Amino acid sequence: MYLEALGLRENPFSITSDPAFLYLSRKHREALSHMVYGIRERKGFIEITGEIGTGKTTLCKTLLRHLDPTTKSALILQPALSDLQLLQLIVQDFGMNPMRTNRLNLFNQINQFLLEQATLGHNIVLILDEAQNLNLRTLEQIRMLSNLETDKQKLIQIVLVGQPQLREKLSRPELEQLRQRIGVRFHITALDLDEVCTYIDHRLRVAGSDGTLEWTQDGAEEVFRCSKGVPRLINQICDRSLLACYVYRVKRIDGEIVRRSYQELVAPVAVS
Ligand SMILES: Nc1ncnc2c1ncn2[C@@H]1O[C@H](COP(=O)(O)OP(=O)(O)OP(=O)(O)O)[C@@H](O)[C@H]1O
Ligand SMILES: [Mg+2]
Range of the domain at 251: 191-266
| pLDDT tens digits along 242-267 | 999 989 999 999 999 999 999 999 98
Nearest listed ligand to the Cα of residue 58: 1
Same domain, 213 and 260: yes
pTM of the model: 0.93
Give the CATH number for residue 240: 1.10.8.60
Q: Of ligand 1's atoms, which has the minimum distance to the CA of residue 59?
A: 18
Least confident of 41-50, 90-99, 228-237: 90-99
Indicate if the pLDDT at residue 271 is higher than 70.
no
Q: Determine the pLDDT at residue 97.
A: 87
Same domain, 152 and 198: no
| pLDDT tens digits along 92-114 | 999 998 776 788 889 889 999 99
Any idea what DSSP says for residue 104? H
Same domain, 86 and 57: yes
Question: What gap in Å lies between CA 212 and CA 4, rounded to an integer?
Answer: 10
Residue 162 included in any domain: yes
Residue 271 included in any domain: no
Same domain, 45 and 65: yes
Nearest listed ligand to the Cα of residue 54: 1
**CA terminus-to-terminus distance, the chain:** 26
Quote the mean pLDDT of the chain: 93
Same domain, 154 and 32: yes
| pLDDT tens digits along 111-120 | 999 999 999 9
Question: What gap in Å lies between CA 73 and CA 126, rounded to an integer?
Answer: 6
28 ligand 1 Cβ < 6 A = yes
The closest residue, in CA terms, to atom 13 on ligand 1 is: 232
Q: Determine the pLDDT at residue 18.
A: 87
Domain count within the chain: 2
Residue 57 pLDDT grade (very low, low, confident, very high; cuts 50, 70, 90): very high
Question: What gap in Å lies between CA 113 and CA 120, rounded to an integer?
Answer: 11
Residue 90 included in any domain: yes
Indicate if the pLDDT at residue 152 is higher than 90.
no
Q: Which of 125, 155, 188 is the last residue of a domain?
A: 188
Ligand 2 midpoint to CA 50 (Å) = 9
Q: Determine the pLDDT at residue 268.
A: 65
Ligand 2 midpoint to CA 77 (Å) = 8
